[in-house]
Amino acid sequence: MAAEGASAASANPNAEIVRGQAFEVGPRYTSLAYIGEGAYGMVVSAYDNVTKTKVAIKKISPFEHQTYCQRTLREIKILTRFKHENRLSNDHICYFLYQILRGLKYIHSANVLHRDLKPSNLLLNTTCDLKICDFGLARVADPDHDHTGFLTEYVATRWYRAPEIMLNSKGYTKSIDIWSVGCILAEMLSNRPIFPGKHYLDQLNHILGVLGSPTQEDLECIINEKARSYLQSLPFKPKVPWTKLFPNADPKALDLLDKMLTFNPHNRIGVEDALAHPYLEQYYDPADEPVSEEPFRFIMELDDLPKETLKKYIFEETVLFKEKYLEQPRM
């Protein structure tokens, strides 16, 4: 594959090599980056210098087998006739957001922080029923707990991270989940992440570039002195109006978004107030929004336990689940 790519590149000096594959797409398409590959070819992202948009390019080898030819022709004929922006309607956005918050109300009522809310941790079926999944990073809510190791667990979820996670070392509250839901709402409104930071400081700059510079009250809630000094050293940034970022969005959705994506966690809207917001009034029903019967508590911290002990506890939990749910007499 590499030799084949090199020979193609020598034949065409404009070809770009991506993981041994030569893409002869210049000068219109530049900044190629690997996305993935399968049995039929490789996919890269690229910048279209004509339309000024980001695109995906799929390089295929369709003529090795008849089946490949059939599938290639079928895909080309279908895709050339399809034109759909695949945008979510306001009704979809409203309904999905309500279900996220309804689930989060239950989670928070159990005294649990999810800590990893993002689109890939939301499950949808064909009838638009939504479930929150992946509780591997969840923790019991404890504002006084030292979360020193918190950031080490967060790698792939930077875009949905609340600013206080990056700026403080302890004292995280349920408001970090609300921030993540706000990021998800913004993504549904525009079909793209609102804060796509490439690293720690870039993430913070994305946030400040939209929300503007933090106020003195915002700065006072930052425990870490170095982080506070860094923010104070930055040039002033004005807040970008939500209507400029999302000109076609429902004004009520933008009002709720503003209350969710508030820099200061103490001023950020809570889950119950978010559910009661006018944007969700068609679904809001406190009587049909279940809460946990009792707060969830870990008897011990799991982070420092040896693997064999963890395996023992996992086995015990499996036995309990089987006894409670799988061995009940069927009605």
Q: Which residues pair with 38 in a beta bridge?
A: 41
Cis ω for the linkage preceding 290 (within 30 of 0):
no
Residue 160, number of CB atoms within 10 A of its CB: 25
Query: CA of 59: how far to CAs of 14, 43, 44, 62, 273, in Å?
Result: 16, 6, 8, 9, 49
Cis ω for the linkage preceding 241 (within 30 of 0):
no
The residues, any chain, with a CB within 8 Å of residue 28's CB and separated by 6 or more, are 48, 49, 50
- The annotation status of 59 as a binding-site residue, yes or no, is yes
134 is catalytic: no
Q: How far apart are CA 238 and CA 166, in angstroms?
A: 21
Q: How far apart are CA 48 and CA 26, in angstroms?
A: 10
SS3 at position 232:
helix
* Nearest residue to 33 via CA among 42, 89, 177: 42
The residues, any chain, with a CB within 8 Å of residue 169's CB and separated by 6 or more, are 146, 147, 148, 223, 224
Catalytic site residue from 48, 116, 142, 255: 116
Residues that constitute the known binding site: 59
Catalytic residues: 116
Residues that constitute the known binding site for ATP: 59
